[in-house]
Amino acid sequence: MARKRDKKADDKLPPYTYFAKGRWFYKPYLGRSNGKTKFGKEIRLCGGDKNTPISDIWKAYEAKIQKTETDIHALKYLLTSFIQSPSFQERAKSTQAQYKGASARIIKTELADGSLFGDADFREVTPGTIRGYLDRRAEMGAPKSGNRERAFISAAYSWAYNRDKLPKGMINPCVGVTRNKEKSRDLYIKDAWYDLVYELAGARAWYIRPFMEMAYLCRMRRIEIRQSAESDILPVGFDTRRVKGSNDAITLWSNRLRTAVDTGLNRPRNLVRFDKTKSPIFTDAHGAEIKEEAFTTAWKRLMDAAEIEAKKREIEFTRFTFHDIKAKGASDYEGNIKDATGHKTDAAANVYDRKKNEVLPTR
């Protein structure tokens, strides 16, 4: 019979393993919170007794735990944990969707050494690591996306920091890291391009046409249109409620604006309007808000069709984003562009002014 293991021998055991009830267990250390040490749910390693050879315990640990240990310290584990947290669920739906998309790209991005960023140990990520990731995204032709992804990583680390999920002394590695330089989008949609897309939209999802008109006439974002409610319909005009801290405004009625709003109101749907403040103007057949994914898919197909049709007609056409329509509306507006867009600063508003000025020659 093997001799009894002494305390010195216990030091050779895998971390946080112990013997109880005729079995060897592992209990993961989760850190300290509010002055208390926290452990995860115990995991059974193997059977035996107190005299089980340490080599057997290590074999069981390596088979069942070591991979788990690697997984729970991977950046993708931290990002996923943040997404599954109550704190994440409190954020706006649009932010949640953006962050989930960012998470997928971060996890799958291949770094210069061939490894996936999602597999990196989040405890070892430094400001230099984040800077390297941003450089990598810029090399891939997506500097702007890299900046958005950095914002998500920063939010995840801040969440972990406030819950003692980071090693002692570690702070958010995104703090102080400069962002990639971004070139402002300057595409101006020509009237002929808008008219072509509007024409083709008539044979596609019914809501695309009124969405285009709302974006142009009221200079609205897609999410602002989707969340528009019947309570926004006022006698004098349409209450344009903006997101991202921009100023709200009332857009006075025009025939085109009336037509766009009425198109949504007159659609048949299974909806009892008890509360007009929560009743979307544009809904599906069940009275639910138009889903972002559905619109994105419909818009992509419409752009594909417009490119094909333009070639058939042998006319000039440049593909544009839906958000470009807001910029066209601002560029065509004959008043103060800050009033048109709701932006509080000239710099933010001027991003949407894409129409070139017509000037006289010197002589």
Choose between 358 and 47: higher pLDDT: 47
Nearest Cα to Cα of residue 261 among 319, 213, 316 = 213
d(C-alpha 57, C-alpha 43), whole Å: 13
pLDDT at 66 over 80: no
Predicted model pTM:
0.61
Question: Maximum Cα–Cα distance for the chain, whole Å?
Answer: 109
Looking at domain 191-350, what is its CATH homologous superfamily? Intergrase catalytic core (1.10.443.10)
Instruction: Give the confidence band of 6 by pLDDT, cuts at 50, 70, 90.
Output: very low
pLDDT band for 92, please (50, 70, 90 cuts). confident
Task: For the chain, give the percent of residues with pLDDT over 90.
Answer: 49
Contact 85, 132 (CB under 8 A): no
**Per-residue pLDDT tens for 278-332?**
688 998 888 888 888 889 899 999 999 999 999 999 999 999 999 999 999 999 9
Share of the chain above pLDDT 70, in %: 87
2 pLDDT exceeds 90? no
Tell me the pLDDT band of 149, cut-offs 50, 70 and 90: very high
Q: pLDDT for 343-355, tens place per residue?
A: 667 666 666 777 7
Q: Any idea where the domains of the chain sit in the sequence?
A: 7-72, 76-161, 191-350
Q: Which of 4-18, 187-201, 254-268, 327-341 has the lowest mean pLDDT?
A: 4-18
Average pLDDT over residues 174-198: 92
Spatial contact of 256 and 210, defined as CB atoms under 8 Å apart: no
Are 73 and 170 in contact by the 8 Å Cβ rule? The answer is: no
Record the tokens describing residue 157, joined without a space: 């680390």
pLDDT above 70: residue 8: no
In sign, the C-alpha dihedral spanning 194, 199, 200, 205 is: positive
pLDDT band at 270 (very low <50, low <70, confident <90, very high): low
What local confidence, expressed as pLDDT, does residue 274 receive? 46
Q: What is the rounded distance in angstroms from the CA atom of residue 130 to the CA atom of residue 234?
A: 48
HEC letters along 14-25: CCCEEEECCEEE
Confidence band of 39 (pLDDT split at 50, 70, 90): confident
The model's confidence at residue 33, banded by pLDDT at 50, 70 and 90, is low
- 3 pLDDT band, cuts 50/70/90, is very low
Is-contact 289 227, C-beta < 8 A? yes
